[in-house]
Structure 1
C-alpha cells in the first residue's frame, strides 16, 4: 500500500539550480579504487586540504551527545542504517554510495527536526538519502519504487520521495560531494605499503570494516580521516607482514592527523571486531552432542509418555462409550 506524507513538509522545495549538485566546490579527492600506480607528488598536500575541510561535511560536535541524552533515538538510527546496508547488498552498490547515504542521513537528522524521531519519517529520509547517493555514485540507479526493497516498512510514492530529496538537498546546501573515510584510505594504504603490493587488499579490507561499523553511533565522535587511519591500521593488522605497525606512527602520515584520536578510534574498531567474533562463536561440539542426546531421550520419553497417556485416555474413552452403550442397552432391556 502506497503511503503519502507530502503534506507534512511545507518547505521541501527550494530555488537552487539542480546543476549546482555537480558544480559545487572543487574539492580535491583521493579515489578509493584499487590502483597499483604511485600517488602523485602533490597528493599529500591535497590530503591535508581535505582534512582541513572535513568538518564541514559531518554533523556538529554535539550530535553524539543527543543520542547519549536520548533526545535522538540511537536504535532508530541503527535500524535505518541497517536497511540501507541491506539495499546496498541487494543491488551491489559501492561502499562509498552506502557511506554517503549515511552521511546525508546524519547531517539532515542533526540540522532539522522531523515530525517524529522514529517510524516513517526516518524511513522516508533513508530512502531519499540512499537515492541521492546512488545518483551520485552508481552508473545505474534503481527507480524510487524499486529502491524500496529488503523489508521496507513503508512504501512511499515517488513524488513524496522527490520532495524529501529536495529537503535533503536544501539542508545540505546542495553539497553532496562529501569528504568521507574513502577520500583517505588509498593514500593511507600507500603510507603503510609504499611498494603498492598490498594496497588493494588494505583498501578492500578497510572498506569492509568501515561498512560493518557504520551503524555504531560511537564512531560519530571521530572525523573521516581518523576513521580511515584506524581502519587501515586494523586492515594491516590482519596481514602478518605488517604486524610491526604501531598505531601511534599513523600521525606522521599527513599533517592534521591526531595520534590520540587515531589510537582511540583504532581501539574502538578492534573492540567491536572482537565483540562481533565472540557473538558468532559456536558452542562446543561435545556439549551440543550431549544436549542433542538429552533432547532426543527427553523427546522419546515424552513421546512415549504422551503416547501411553493418549492410549490410556483413548481406552478410557472407549470404555466410557462402551459402558454407556451397554448401560443404555441394559436400560432399554429393563424397560422392556
Structure 2
C-alpha cells in the first residue's frame, strides 16, 4: 500500500500537557499497519482514566481546542438522515444495538479508553450510513464491529490485545486476514478520516473548565467517570445521533451534575454552556430530556444488578469464519466517490460554521 495516514485533529502532547493546532493536520508518514497485533499477556485491570493532564494546559489552549472541536464535529456526525435509515430498517437498528453493546462490553473487559470505544462506534455508524448495508446479515455486522474496534485501538491504546482476544463475546470468530481486509474497506469508505469528534472529545476540556469550581481532583475524576459512563450508555440509542456531539456531552454533564452533586451548579454549567453555539439551545433542552431518561434506566439497571451493558457475556462456542467465506465486494464501492463529495461539502460547511461562531466562542 502506498497510502499515507492523514488525520485532521488537534494534537495533544501527553508528556507536556500542551494542545497544539499543528495547522489542523496530523500527517503520519507511514503505511497503514495491516499486520496482526502481537500476542501477549495483557493486564486487564489498569487504573481508570484520570483527567490530570488537562490541568496543565492554559485557558487559551482550552478555548482554542473547544473551538476546533466545534468546527470539526459536523464532519463526523450523520444527523437525521441516518436516524431515518435506522427507523426504516429495524434489523439494521437491532444489529447496531448489539454491536455497540459488544463494544461497551469490550471496553469493560479490557479497560479500553472511552474515546477508543466511541471512535469505534462512530466508524460503525458512518460505514453503515455510507454503504446502507442492504442485504446484510448479523455476521457482516459483527465483522464490521470487530474491524472498527481494531482500527480504533491502534490509535487509542498503548497495549492492545490480539485480534483473537478481542473477539470474545461474538457469535462468530473471524480469521485475522478477513478482519484486516475489512479494516481496509472501512478506511477507504471513511476516506481515512479517523480522528472523529465524539462527545468524549470534550470531556477533558470540560473537566479543565470545572477545575475552577471544584478544587477536589477526586470529585472531578468521579464526575468525569460518571459522565463517560453516561455517554457510553447513550451511544446505544441511535436517536441521540440527530444531536451534535457538543450538545450530547453538555446534556450528559447537566444530568451528572444534578444527580451526583445535588448542589447548585447553574453557575459552572452556564459558563461551560457559553461554548455551545447559540442556535443549539433548543436541541440542548430536548437532548437533556433524553439523557435524563437514559440516566434513570442506568440507575434502575444497576439497582437490579443488571447493568445496561453487562460486564460478562455467556460464553458459547463460536462459529469460525474464514477469508474465502466472505465476499467483501458485495459492499457497494460506488459509494466511495459519493463519500469524497460528501467530505468536501462538509468541509465547506465546517468552514462557514466556524466563521459564524468564532466571534461568539472568543
TM over 0.5: yes
Instruction: Report the counterpart of residue 263 of structure 1 in structure 2.
Output: 285
- The answer to whether structure 1 residue 170 and structure 2 residue 188 are counterparts is yes
- The answer to whether structure 1 residue 25 and structure 2 residue 4 are counterparts is no
Shift of 1:192: 4.3
How far apart, CA to CA, are the structure 2 residues paired with 1:220 and 1:246? 28
Instruction: Report the counterpart of residue 75 of structure 1 in structure 2.
Output: 94
How far apart, CA to CA, are the structure 2 residues paired with 1:77 and 1:128? 14
Worse overlay, 185-194 or 59-68: 185-194
Shift of 1:70: 2.3
Instruction: Report the counterpart of residue 153 of structure 1 in structure 2.
Output: 171
- The answer to whether structure 1 residue 274 and structure 2 residue 296 are counterparts is yes
Instruction: Report the counterpart of residue 59 of structure 2 in structure 1.
Output: 41
Change (3 A) 1:247 1:274: farther
What SS class does the counterpart of residue 238 from structure 1 fall into?
helix
What SS class does the counterpart of residue 142 from structure 1 fall into?
coil
Shift of 1:91: 1.4
- The answer to whether structure 1 residue 226 and structure 2 residue 278 are counterparts is no
What SS class does the counterpart of residue 239 from structure 1 fall into?
helix
Instruction: Report the counterpart of residue 236 of structure 2 in structure 1.
Output: 215
Shift of 1:221: 1.2
Alignment TM-score, normalising by the size of structure 1: 0.70
Change (3 A) 1:237 1:118: farther
Change (3 A) 1:28 1:237: farther
- The answer to whether structure 1 residue 65 and structure 2 residue 84 are counterparts is yes
Q: Which runs of 5+ in 2 are unaligned?
A: 13-17, 20-48, 305-362
Change (3 A) 1:193 1:37: closer
How far apart, CA to CA, are the structure 2 residues paired with 1:124 and 1:70? 19
Worse overlay, 120-129 or 85-94: 85-94
Shift of 1:117: 3.6
Whether the 8 Å contact between 2:55 and 2:208 is mirrored in structure 1 is: no
Shift of 1:252: 3.9
What SS class does the counterpart of residue 176 from structure 1 fall into?
coil
Aligned partner of 1:206 among 219, 227, 233: 227
The one-character-per-residue Cα deviations of 1:201-228 (angstroms, maximum 9, x if unpaired) are: 2212111111122111111111111111
Instruction: Report the counterpart of residue 318 of structure 1 in structure 2.
Output: none
- The answer to whether structure 1 residue 95 and structure 2 residue 87 are counterparts is no
How far apart, CA to CA, are the structure 2 residues paired with 1:230 and 1:149? 33
The one-character-per-residue Cα deviations of 1:221-266 (angstroms, maximum 9, x if unpaired) are: 1111111111111121123364442898367431525221222111
Alignment TM-score, normalising by the size of structure 2: 0.66
What SS class does the counterpart of residue 146 from structure 1 fall into?
helix
- Figure out how many residues of one structure are paired with residues of the other and give that number: 264
Map 1:100-119; keep pairs closer than 5 Å. Answer: 100-114=119-133, 116-119=135-138
